[in-house]
Amino acid sequence: MTLKFVDLFAGLGGFHVGMKALGYECVFACEKNETLAKLYEHNFGIKCEGDIKDIKASDIPRHDILCAGFPCQPFSKAGKQKGFEDKQNGTYFIKDIARILDYHKPKYIILENVPHIKKHENEHTWEIISKKLDKLGYNILFEKLSPHQFGIPQIRERLFIVGVRGNLDYYKWPQEKDKSILDIRSILDTKPIDARKLNERQIECINLWQRIVDNIPKDTRLPSFPIWSMEFEANYPFKETTPAYCKQEKLGKYKGSFGKTLRGMNKRDQYKFLPSYAKRKQTKFPEWKQEFIMKNREFYKENKKILRPFIKELSQLPPSWQKLEWNCLDGKREIRNYLIQFRASGIRIKRTNYAPTLVLTQTQIPIVGWEERYITTKEAARLQSLETIDLPDNQRVALRALGNAVNAKVVNLVARQLIREKQSVNPITTKVTTHLASK
């Protein structure tokens, strides 16, 4: 008999793809985003219902496995961390998943969320979740897993929770593969015609930072800390106090971003020439910020003859582009050899062994440096093991959905270890292009 599963918070259908390949049948799915719900029906031939809050447990068909990647924003370090107090997205586990489990009592459960849910509210959130599942009759195990552990070049750590109504001593988490051979080029196409290109301003910015990197002596290691060029020539106070707690006259004795004198200005104008991170109203900067400021000023002092000629050009960049994060250790100093992200925290340069985590934020979409383009939706789908389904036509919508999806291959591997009743199994493989995309 074919086992049946339900797909709650279905999104693009990562759980569906992973479970179907194991031979299981989806008998119910829900997704409150109407665009994704319609696409789910198109891809899988099953009507996708709306918000689970509006659905009675008795209206959901009987099932053997409950799958749910419930909303992570209330528990993520990147969000407001309201947890269960978030009335819009934070109560889905305690109010909806729990009531469905209580009513249907499926034998197996597979849940997915951000790793920080384990630490949220000093582990109080996790205590509520684990105790609730225990009360509902489930023995559970949990583990932090990422696609890069299983042959897919994307670092995307997520907490997986597996449970069974019965003994779970048999369960073993899927075995990792050799991560040393991974490279993002394995899932990239060569110069795809639908790729979004970098604009002229972005290219000019990359060229400027490349000239700076080229001028730093080869025997001088590029900083492992973020380069904050606003600290070049700056000397505003940052240890014992902060600019916010300096009176106008005192602050006028110092220099702000790129050495701009703050003398003769009112406090409002002085703030215009300070880095954004130095404007916050706090009596003392946190230690990590003090360390970054100190290291950047030391780096500038040691390389002043090289860096000073670039100050004018750097000061004309948007604030977030005035920062560079070199995450390539001692790799070849060619920015275009790597993956690039224009983030709010700065321009991040990363090696090609793993793609950064696909996220909802559009500014963090990886850029293929050697082709001066963003990754395409097809390539992003391969990073989520979802290349077999149709995606939203709108590229921004598609990338946002992929950033919110669960990786189908990881689901597949987790489930095949959990579910003892064997079905006909089709392996989940991530498509690798015939030829590696060249530099």
Whether 359 shows a pLDDT value over 90: the answer reads no
Residue 302: what pLDDT? 95
Question: Hey, what amino acid is at 245?
Answer: Y
Q: Is the model's pLDDT at 78 over the cut of 70?
A: no
Q: CB of 350 within 8 A of CB of 338?
A: yes
pLDDT confidence tier of residue 435, bands split at 50, 70 and 90? very low
- Number of Cβ within 10 Å of residue 429's Cβ equals 14
Give the CA-trace dihedral at 241, 247, 253, 258, to 10 degrees: 70
Which residue intervals of 21-141 are DSSP H helices?
34-44, 98-104, 124-135
| pLDDT for 95 beyond 90 | no
Which phi and psi (to 5°) does residue 3 adopt?
A: -75, 150
pTM: 0.86
Q: Where are the domains of the chain?
A: 4-177+406-418, 225-302
Which pLDDT score, from 0 to 100, does residue 432 have? 41
Residues 399, 12 contacting (CB under 8 angstroms): no
Share above pLDDT 70 across residues of the chain, in percent, rounded to a whole number:
90
Quote the tokens at residue 183: 């490279």
Q: How far apart are CA 165 and CA 137, in angstroms?
A: 6
Residue-level pLDDT at 331? 85
pLDDT top residue among 283 and 389: 389
Cα separation, 135 vs 133, whole angstroms: 5
Angle at 301 between CA 299 and CA 302, to 5 degrees: 65
- Backbone region of residue 328 per phi and psi (left: phi > 0; alpha: psi in -120 to 50; beta: other values): alpha
Contacts of 389 (CB under 8 A, 6+ apart): 12, 13, 17, 43, 381
Q: What is the mean pLDDT of residues 288-295?
A: 96
Cβ–Cβ under 8 Å, residues 395 and 385? no
Name the phi and psi angles at 112, rounded to 5. -140, 140
Give the C-alpha separation, 158 to 69, whole Å.
10
* Amino acid sitting at position 421: E
Instruction: State the sign of the Cα–Cα–Cα–Cα dihedral 84, 89, 94, 95.
Output: positive
For residues 67, 68, 69, 72, the Cα torsion angle rounded to the nearest 10 degrees is: -160
Could you please report the per-residue DSSP string of 146-199?
Answer: -GGGGT-SB---EEEEEEESS--TT--PPPP--GGG--GGGG--SS-TTPPBPP
Q: What is the CATH number that goes with domain 4-177+406-418? A: 3.40.50.150
Q: Residue type for 300, please?
A: Y
Q: Could you read off the pLDDT of 230-274 as tens digits, one per residue?
A: 999 999 999 989 999 999 999 999 999 999 999 999 999 999 999
- Chain segment 8-45, per-residue pLDDT in tens: 999 999 999 999 999 999 999 999 999 999 999 999 99
Q: How many Å separate Cα 315 from the centre of its chain? A: 29
The residue among 389, 362, 365 whose CA lies nearest residue 378 is 389
Residue 180 has pLDDT above 50, yes or no: yes
Q: Are 110 and 15 in contact (CB under 8 A)?
A: yes
Residue 109, token pair as written in the block: 């459960």
User: Alpha carbon of 352 to those of 182, 188, 316, 376, 437: distances in Å?
Assistant: 8, 11, 30, 16, 11
The one-letter code for the residue type at 392 is: P
Residues forming the active site:
72
Give the other-Cβ count within 10 Å of 96's Cβ. Answer: 21
Band (438; pLDDT cuts 50, 70, 90): very low
pLDDT recorded at residue 82: 63
Tell me what the mean pLDDT of segment 332-337 comes to.
96
User: What is the structure's pLDDT at 72?
Assistant: 66
pLDDT band of 434, cuts 50, 70, 90: very low
Q: Name the average pLDDT for the chain.
A: 89
Query: How far is 107 from 96, CA to CA, in rounded Å?
Result: 17
Chain-centroid distance, C-alpha 246: 37
pLDDT at residue 414 in the model: 97
Name residue 38's amino acid.
Answer: K
Is the pLDDT score of 81 beyond 70? no
pLDDT digits (tens, 9 = 90+) for 202-226: 999 999 999 999 999 998 999 999 9
Name the 3-class secondary structure at 27. Answer: strand
